[in-house]
Amino acid sequence: MKRIIKSEPANPNIANAFFRAGYIEVWERGTTNVIKYCTDAGLPEPIYTDELGGVAIVFSTKHNQTNEERFSIDYGEKDTVKDTINILSKNEEKMFELIKRDRKITTEELSNNVGINLRNIKKNIRKLKEKGLLKRIGPDKGGHWEVIEE
């Protein structure tokens, strides 16, 4: 059953600032537009639910689904290392290639070769570790990098 959703921002001052900055075009049009875009694309209307003091919107990419299917998300097969490597930033990619060639390369050497400061080198190393492509074996001095490849 559809119901009319009245737009009442939790913080009118912040909402007004976004409106003046151009991030909000017209009040009370967002949900209507979202529903229209879904139905125009031949998809079911999204499901709006109240969660944790806000609104959650569940989109479906399949036609004629049951409620159980709408609330389950199919992520497909797990990403491979090759898929992950294809979405690296330029700096991450440069660093990954340098580390593959020299497993004992230091962060200072990476900084000199990539052309970014140590802080950003460490940030990119953390991202490579989070993506499951890189692991440090041993201490900073005397240790080496393990590159995870399939």
Q: What is the pLDDT of residue 113?
A: 93
Write down the pLDDT at residue 109.
Answer: 93
Residue 141 and residue 90 in contact, taking contact as beta carbons nearer than 8 Å: no
Q: Does a structural domain hold residue 93?
A: yes
CB of 60 closer than 8 Å to CB of 46: yes
Res 1: pLDDT:
46
The helix or strand, by DSSP H or E, that contains position 57, with its residue range, turns out to be strand 54-58
Q: How many domains does the chain have?
A: 2
At 120 the pLDDT is 92
Q: What is the largest CA-CA distance in the chain?
A: 65
Domain carrying residue 31: 12-71
134 and 98 housed in the same domain: yes
List the pLDDT tens digit at each of the 150 positions of the chain.
455 555 667 788 888 888 788 777 666 667 777 888 888 888 888 887 776 666 677 877 665 445 444 444 444 444 455 555 557 788 888 999 999 999 999 999 999 999 999 999 999 999 888 888 899 999 888 889 998 875
Name residue 120's beta-bridge partners.
none
Residue 76 is predicted with a pLDDT of 44
Burial class from Cβ neighbours inside 10 Å (0-12, 13-18, 19+) for residue 128 reads buried
**Domain termination residue (choose one: 71, 99, 114):** 71
Residues near 89 by beta carbon (within 8 Å), at least 6 away in sequence: 124, 127
Length of the chain, in residues = 150
| Rounded distance between C-alpha atoms, residue 127 and residue 150, angstroms | 19
Whether residue 67 is found in the same domain as residue 90? no
**Are residues 65 and 16 part of one domain?**
yes
